[in-house]
Structure 1
Amino acid sequence: MTATQPYSGATAVVIGGSIGGLTAALLLRDLGFDVHVYERTPSALDGRGSGIVLQPDTVRWFTERSAQSLDDLSTSTGYVQYLDRDGRVEFREERRYDYTSWGTFYRALLADLGDGSYHLGEFACGFDQGTDHATVRFVSGTTVSADLVVFADGITSAARQRFDPQAKLKYSGYVGWRGTFPVRDLDPQTRAALDDAITFNVVPNSHITMYPIPGEDGTAAEYRLMNYVWYRNVPEGPELSELLTDKRGFTSPVSLHPGQVQDRYIDELKTAAAQQLSPPVADVVIATEQPYLQVVADVRSTRMALGRVALIGDAACGARPHAAAGTAKAAADAWALVAALSDAPGDIAGALAKWEPAQLQLSDALLRRVVAMGERSQFTNTWTPGDPDLRFGLYGPGI
């Protein structure tokens, strides 16, 4: 906890209980705010095993404020490697990256916040504000007023239109197929080929990356999962709509969860993996029982502050994952927000106005970079193994 609490007695509402929202809530509480988080889903969130490449801003809560050890939440590798179609190493360099699973990180943040401030099953649909407070409306009929409201409600944010009516999701032209498989169950040769590395495999108009993350039972080697995302082009229109129609007949604009993807698409995915990917990489994809997919899209609001209401993370800027910076950007928004509030005790609207320009600039730079990275991989075939411009990082390649 911080030494001083300049906002003791003030209230804050955070809309969205994912990693960005939880980070914001924890930091605001340290400033003295009485914070409550409202999450739209009726049960605790499940990251479906998705992996996260950890950046300094993402882990800053645990390195500076939490009693929990980051070592208990993460795995690491010592190398970056690219494999060719025959399984040979075409590029390899010594470079450490740390990883976690979405669920592991989420549960750790929620444990620090405590369940008493975390409210499930409340979908925020609108807000108004006056000179001294903002009021959020929920579809349940509930209304909640606070001195500060932070919307961290993700790429499908219901609030973003109030900030920027022109900010619309723009489809990239490709989707990300994701999945995990227990490292211990991999063939020994496959395990050896992928050991201690984040592995890339670049093929025409596509690429896949995979790395080990904690399993549900911990970070020890016997629990680790090999996590991957394979970017594959799908034309917008009927072909994409059919792919996004789940087994129940419902269509989602952003993702299909494990067990929801039609079997014929999973069969095609595994056949394509065997034909196109490096053998060790293909082995992981083929072994995955329930791959799932996410639509890769971009969106950026030209506003992040409206009076005493803020928009952060994917709600403000949903960017392609090629820089591994999505969760880092949400955390960076939160840290910068509390710094601005600390510098202007009592002047919430003024603090938000000063906070906004730098975060908008960061959003713009990140979005431009990941769009360029995606174009190189998926359309121009200029994603070159080992190119330092392709390194992960929120503020630039490798940083």
Structure 2
Amino acid sequence: MKVIVAGAGLGGLALANGLREAGIDVSVHERDRSPLVRRQGYRLHLSDVGIDALTSVLTPERRAALLATAHTPAPRFVRFDPTLKESDVVEHGGRHLSVDRRTLRDALLADVAETITYGSRLTGFQLAADHVTARFDDGTTVAGDVLVGADGINSAVRRQYLPHARIAGTGLVQLYGKIPAGLAEGMDNVFTAITGPGHRTVGVGRTRDYATCSFGARVEDLPSGLDVMTQDQLRSLVMDMTDGWHPLVRRMIAEWHEVFPLELRTSVPVPPWRTTRVTLLGDAVHAMSPAAGAGANLALRDAAALSAALARGGPLIPALGSYEQEMTDAGFAAVRVSAANGARFLGQDPLPSG
């Protein structure tokens, strides 16, 4: 069997590891020219879902080395007001870890680097009865038994395969950056949100070596051109928008660095589709706002489930159909939970109907 994977993000790399372990031929095609081209975030939250998926697809040695770098936060979500008065606490069960996104990606890259072609942007595909052919922007084609769209929220595979599937704005923009870990003292939780008037939110998440710090607001309350602002300009903007907040929050913003903006978008759930040799995973099909901390975990879960389904052998289409049913059930449920949490805590727009 030959599997073509479009996208070398966390889900695509996890899938490549699982397929490699099963002895299945895999080629991964990534539109970026290197793993370092785009800023994609810093700290990631891993729940039981993500931890179990990594256990499934990584060798014991790779997994142990990765988890040795992880930080264990208190298993709860805590919300404060701008004076740092506690307003909500949600306790979580299970395991929770904070890992550095680059460290996780390096662990997933280590054993499958030779399968990846960078600067290879998928432009389309052609389905036949016994194979699928992927086309790339350099004019090359690759034929295989299965094509997997792991190419993120702007998935070219999804655009052709499920043209009716919609991506919607949430009405929110977040600025992501880092702060020294010591500034997150007293906020070492799965996630800490400091919410103020006008749906302005400062979010904090610890790792072993630093803490992520994000600032979110309604898009209409932010100026245009965030992507061309300097670090000083971004800090100054957020200092103005958190005027009068607790001095610790102000110090976090003053020491903020490596900041970049990101418009938050979400998939809109769609009904089941007819299974073929083309399938999807992660953000390519069920992208969501970060309000449930589930996106990366579900992409890893998808990868582990799909590699296991293909490794079991047997008729291909029923195996893919079973994977897709479980993937969409879990993925679209998380989309809805993320949208509800985002509306409650962050001022996110309601999730559009399908």
Normalising by structure 1, report the TM-score. Answer: 0.77
Stretches of structure 1 lacking an aligned partner (at least 5 in a row): 1-9, 214-218, 248-259, 381-399
Deviation string, structure 1 residues 216-237 (Cα, Å, up to 9, x no partner):
xxx4xxxx111022221113xx
CA 278–63 in structure 1, closer or farther in 2 if over 3 Å, else same? farther
**Match 1:176 to one of 171, 174, 177:** 174
* Counterpart for residue 55 of structure 1: 47
**Match 2:32 to one of 21, 38, 41:** 41
CA 261–125 in structure 1, closer or farther in 2 if over 3 Å, else same? farther
> For residues 105-254 of structure 1, what are the structure 2 equivalents within 5 Å?
105-113=104-112, 115-183=113-181, 186=182, 190-194=183-187, 198-204=191-197, 205-213=199-207, 219=208, 224-235=209-220, 243-244=224-225, 246-247=227-228
* Partners of 2:227 and 2:261 within 8 A in 1: no
CA distance in 2, matches of 1:120, 1:63: 26
* Counterpart for residue 344 of structure 2: 376
Secondary structure at the aligned position of 1:335 is classed as: helix
Secondary structure at the aligned position of 1:243 is classed as: coil
* Partners of 1:198 and 1:209 within 8 A in 2: yes
* Partners of 2:53 and 2:301 within 8 A in 1: no
* Partners of 1:179 and 1:229 within 8 A in 2: yes
* Partners of 2:14 and 2:54 within 8 A in 1: no
Deviation string, structure 1 residues 105-128 (Cα, Å, up to 9, x no partner):
100110132x21111110011001
- What displacement does 1:35 show? 1.0
CA distance in 1, matches of 2:328, 2:91: 33
CA 305–51 in structure 1, closer or farther in 2 if over 3 Å, else same? farther
CA distance in 2, matches of 1:327, 1:367: 12
* Counterpart for residue 22 of structure 2: 31
- What displacement does 1:271 show? 2.1
CA distance in 2, matches of 1:30, 1:19: 17
- What displacement does 1:26 show? 1.1
CA 301–287 in structure 1, closer or farther in 2 if over 3 Å, else same? same
- What displacement does 1:87 show? 3.1
* Counterpart for residue 238 of structure 2: 269
CA distance in 2, matches of 1:119, 1:267: 40
* Counterpart for residue 280 of structure 2: 311
List structure 1 segments (4+ residues) > 6 angstroms apart after TM superposition: none
* Partners of 2:53 and 2:304 within 8 A in 1: no
* Partners of 2:6 and 2:149 within 8 A in 1: yes
CA 306–197 in structure 1, closer or farther in 2 if over 3 Å, else same? closer
Greater relative contact order structure (CA < 8 Å, 6+ sep)? 2
* Partners of 2:173 and 2:216 within 8 A in 1: yes
Matched, 1:327 2:292: no
Write the letter of the residue equivalent to 2:250. Answer: A
Secondary structure at the aligned position of 1:360 is classed as: helix
- What displacement does 1:40 show? 0.7
- What displacement does 1:263 show? 5.5
Write the letter of the residue equivalent to 2:195. Answer: V
Matched, 1:357 2:348: no
Identical columns (%): 28
- What displacement does 1:52 show? 0.8
Aligned length: 339
Deviation string, structure 1 residues 320-374 (Cα, Å, up to 9, x no partner):
111111011112222222333344x252223112222222222221111111111
- What displacement does 1:207 show? 2.8
* Counterpart for residue 397 of structure 1: none
Stretches of structure 2 lacking an aligned partner (at least 5 in a row): 349-354
Q: CA RMSD in A?
A: 2.7
Matched, 1:286 2:254: yes
* Partners of 2:281 and 2:302 within 8 A in 1: yes
Deviation string, structure 1 residues 359-392 (Cα, Å, up to 9, x no partner):
2222221111111111112349xxxxxxxxxxxx
- What displacement does 1:48 show? 5.2
* Counterpart for residue 4 of structure 2: 13
Deviation string, structure 1 residues 128-152 (Cα, Å, up to 9, x no partner):
1212211110111111111111110
CA distance in 1, matches of 2:40, 2:252: 17
CA 127–77 in structure 1, closer or farther in 2 if over 3 Å, else same? same
* Counterpart for residue 390 of structure 1: none
CA 128–108 in structure 1, closer or farther in 2 if over 3 Å, else same? same
Secondary structure at the aligned position of 1:131 is classed as: coil
* Partners of 1:163 and 1:305 within 8 A in 2: no
CA distance in 2, matches of 1:273, 1:35: 49
- What displacement does 1:308 show? 1.0
Matched, 1:74 2:59: no
CA 73–59 in structure 1, closer or farther in 2 if over 3 Å, else same? farther
* Partners of 2:235 and 2:254 within 8 A in 1: no
CA distance in 1, matches of 2:104, 2:155: 22
Matched, 1:85 2:77: no
Normalising by structure 2, report the TM-score. Answer: 0.86
Secondary structure at the aligned position of 2:35 is classed as: coil
- What displacement does 1:88 show? 4.1
Secondary structure at the aligned position of 1:178 is classed as: strand
Write the letter of the residue equivalent to 1:163. Answer: Y
CA distance in 2, matches of 1:304, 1:42: 33
- What displacement does 1:92 show? 5.8
